[in-house]
């Protein structure tokens, strides 16, 4: 039995994070190249649809008008007479509130009514039949209000398909807003002025419910800051308190008819009259101020809308570009996911992830079949002798195999695969022919006795072969056939299929046969049977120096390949590495395909597998 050398499988393991990152980037690029058809299709469809959609959108124009909101002096919304503290409604909040009111549904509906927007919008949307619906459409996406930062200016923007209507609507909304604001202020002023006592009216003149209302007014008026803080009123109140205190003290000793009591009562009545008179003066001043303030609007249009000359939208170039970029990104993500889901072995990276040393690629070959044995033999020889790319590929595999093992421990080699139809026999034949072309004396043995194929490739008879030698019905010299056109290459076919091929391959008779053949050949190459479901090649792997796995391009799942590797190692075999046969370089990756395409053109050879 051959000695088994120790092999290093570190080629599938990363030595640093930088190497892993570079490898991941390479995998990403490979996924993009492998699925570039999907990426181009999705991106192209997105581009076309986004372009058609952008062209279908109507061109719109935006008109802008600016409104100045007076807020420098106190108004009814900030007057300390109307609120407990001025800080309760700070100016920034007030301006923002007015800005939001500008696009309120009430204002927009009034503007729609005055501008007759229903008739205008029905030109593009027949469903608009009421001012309320027109206001809804106007407020959805056609109107924008912005308070300019650091100012008291509100900018109103209106978009429309007609530039003249855009300006007309913007001015109409601003005019409506100012008129409605003026009406609101007039209404508030009337309510507030009604709340104060009229000229010459005293609290004593009312009775019943009106008297209760007047009592409420009296309490509210005396609590106004202008009244409560008036020095004259405060002085009168202090003196009144003293007079009342003296009256209470004297009332304990005298009757109400006493001169001193009458004198104090007269003084109290005088003070009450003076206080009411002073309050009346303050109220009259407040009424005059409020009436003047509410009678004038605190807003005005400082810049009316101009008819826009250039469209403001849609941004067709931006829309198409953004849609295309998003589609490109999503298609790349999809390509990566699909590539990750495709775990069939197609490239070196797939082999490395098993992990397993990668030996090389072989391209797709045209059929080697022919009408006659001579035709099949000439077919294979034609590939080897004329296809320089094929010769280089098999030479690279040969070098990778031989350099991975010591010279004295690489004499016995076996080619096997996971399942049938992966091309192991063809690769073993090409490998043997390459060794022979290199000047070595090579024996190629067909050990796949269940389904022999080596004799078909070389167009040989399969009457006497390996099975006959193992059972002792023929000598090795009788089973060996030489290939005339390839000096140094000899073939031992499989022979008749025995009842139990595994028993023969695992017997000592195979070991004796190898010992008998070794002195006569520099290299003995076995074409072993597929090893996933039968043990023939596993038994043989323990008797050779090294085993080479052949994966058909895209035929084997990575997990199945890993299982095959484990089976060989568990059988005490030495796994040299794996090669990929039948490679379609168009599907491999762009760089490799470009390389082989240029290579073929440079040397003037046919593109096998294209």
Q: How many CA atoms lie within 13 A of 473 on its CB side?
A: 10
Residue 171 has pLDDT above 60, yes or no: yes
Q: What is the pLDDT of residue 33?
A: 78
Q: Return the structure tokens found at 411.
A: 């004499």
Specify the 3-state DSSP secondary structure of 185.
helix
Q: How many CA atoms lie within 13 A of 447 on its CB side?
A: 36
pLDDT tens digit string along 221-259?
666 666 777 888 888 888 889 988 898 888 888 888 888
Specify the 3-state DSSP secondary structure of 604.
coil
SS (H, E, C) 202-265: CHHHCCHHHHHHHHHHHHHHHCCHHHHCCHHHHHHHHHHHHHHHHHHHHHCCCCCCCHHHHHHH
Structural domain boundaries in the chain: 10-17+355-603, 35-56+314-340, 203-294
Q: Return the structure tokens found at 589.
A: 């990756």
Reported as type and span, the H/E element at residue 320 is helix 316-341
Torsion of the alpha carbons at 560, 566, 570 and 576, rounded to the nearest 10 = 110
Q: What is the pLDDT of residue 9?
A: 42
Using CB atoms within 10 A of its CB, is residue 367 exposed (0-12), middle (13-18) or buried (19+)? exposed
Higher pLDDT, 123 or 441: 441
Residue 89 has pLDDT above 70, yes or no: no
Query: Using 50, 70 and 90 to split pLDDT, how confident is the model at 11?
Result: very low
Query: Using 50, 70 and 90 to split pLDDT, how confident is the model at 531?
Result: very high
Alpha-carbon span 269 to 259, nearest angstrom: 15
Instruction: Give the CATH superfamily of 10-17+355-603.
Output: P-loop containing nucleotide triphosphate hydrolases (3.40.50.300)
Please, what is the average pLDDT of the chain?
A: 81
Alpha-carbon span 320 to 325, nearest angstrom: 9
Query: Using 50, 70 and 90 to split pLDDT, how confident is the model at 378?
Result: low
CA separation, residue 475 to residues 199, 409, 508 (Å)? 143, 26, 16
Is the model's pTM score more than 0.75?
no
**What number of residues does the chain have?**
610
Residue 591 has pLDDT above 60, yes or no: no
Query: Using 50, 70 and 90 to split pLDDT, how confident is the model at 16?
Result: low
The answer to whether 235 and 325 have CB atoms below 8 angstroms apart is no
DSSP letters of 405-462? Answer: S-GGG-SEEEEEESSSSSSHHHHHHHHHHHHHHTT--EEEEE---SS--HHHHHT---
């Amino acid at each position: 039995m051959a000695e088994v050398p120790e092999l290093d499988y570190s080629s599938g393991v990363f030595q640093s994070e930088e190497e892993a990152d570079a490898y991941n980037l390479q995998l990403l690029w490979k996924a993009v190249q492998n699925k570039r058809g999907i990426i181009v299709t999705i991106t192209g469809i997105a581009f076309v649809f986004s372009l058609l959609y952008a062209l279908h959108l109507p061109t719109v124009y935006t008109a802008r008008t600016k409104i100045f909101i007076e807020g420098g002096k106190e108004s009814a919304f900030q007057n300390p007479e109307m609120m407990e503290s001025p800080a309760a409604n700070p100016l920034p909040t007030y301006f923002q509130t007015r800005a939001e009111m500008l696009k309120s549904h009430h204002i927009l509906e009034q503007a729609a009514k005055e501008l007759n927007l229903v008739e205008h919008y029905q030109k593009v949307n027949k469903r608009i039949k009421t001012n309320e619906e027109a206001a809804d459409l106007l407020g959805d996406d056609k109107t924008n209000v912005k308070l300019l930062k650091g100012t008291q200016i509100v900018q109103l923007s209106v978009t429309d398909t007609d530039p003249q209507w855009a300006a007309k609507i913007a001015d109409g909304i601003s005019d409506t807003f100012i008129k409605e604001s003026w009406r609101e202020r007039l209404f508030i002023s009337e309510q507030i002025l009604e709340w104060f006592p009229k000229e010459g009216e005293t609290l004593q003149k009312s009775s019943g419910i009106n008297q209760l209302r007047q009592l409420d007014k009296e309490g509210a008026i005396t609590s106004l800051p202008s009244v409560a803080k008036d020095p004259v009123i405060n002085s009168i109140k202090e003196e009144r308190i003293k007079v009342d205190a003296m009256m209470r003290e004297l009332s304990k000793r005298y009757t109400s008819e006493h001169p001193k009591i009458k004198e104090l009562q007269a003084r109290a009545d005088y003070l009450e009259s003076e206080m009411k008179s002073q309050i009346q003066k303050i109220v009259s001043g407040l009424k005059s101020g409020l009436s003047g303030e509410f009678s004038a609007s605190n807003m005005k249009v400082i810049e009316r809308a101009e008819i826009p000359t250039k469209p403001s939208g849609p941004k067709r170039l931006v829309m198409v570009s953004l849609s295309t970029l998003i589609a490109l990104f999503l298609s790349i993500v999809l390509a990566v996911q699909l590539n990750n889901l495709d775990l069939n072995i197609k490239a070196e990276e797939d082999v490395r992830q098993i992990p397993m040393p990668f030996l090389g690629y072989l391209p797709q070959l045209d059929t080697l079949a022919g009408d006659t044995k001579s035709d099949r033999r000439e077919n294979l020889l034609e590939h080897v002798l004329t296809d320089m790319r094929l010769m280089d590929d098999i030479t690279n595999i040969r070098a990778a195999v031989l350099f991975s093992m010591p010279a004295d421990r690489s004499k016995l080699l076996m080619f096997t695969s996971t399942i049938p139809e992966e091309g192991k026999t063809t690769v073993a034949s090409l490998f043997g022919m390459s060794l022979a072309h290199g000047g070595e004396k090579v024996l190629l043995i067909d050990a796949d006795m269940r389904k022999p194929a080596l004799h078909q490739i070389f167009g040989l008879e399969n009457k006497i072969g390996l099975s006959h030698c193992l059972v002792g019905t023929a000598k090795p010299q009788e089973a060996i056939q030489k290939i005339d056109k390839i000096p140094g290459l000899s073939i031992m076919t499989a022979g008749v299929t025995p009842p139990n091929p595994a028993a023969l391959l695992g017997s000592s008779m195979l070991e004796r046969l190898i010992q008998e053949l070794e002195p006569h050949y520099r290299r003995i190459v076995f074409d072993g049977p597929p090893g996933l479901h039968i043990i023939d090649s596993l038994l043989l792997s323990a008797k050779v120096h090294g085993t080479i796995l052949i994966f058909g391009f895209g035929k084997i799942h990575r997990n199945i390949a890993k299982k095959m590797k484990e089976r060989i190692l568990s059988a005490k075999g030495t796994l040299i590495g794996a090669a990929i046969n039948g490679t379609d370089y168009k599907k491999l990756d762009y760089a490799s395909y470009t390389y082989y395409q240029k290579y073929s053109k440079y040397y003037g050879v046919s593109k096998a597998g294209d």
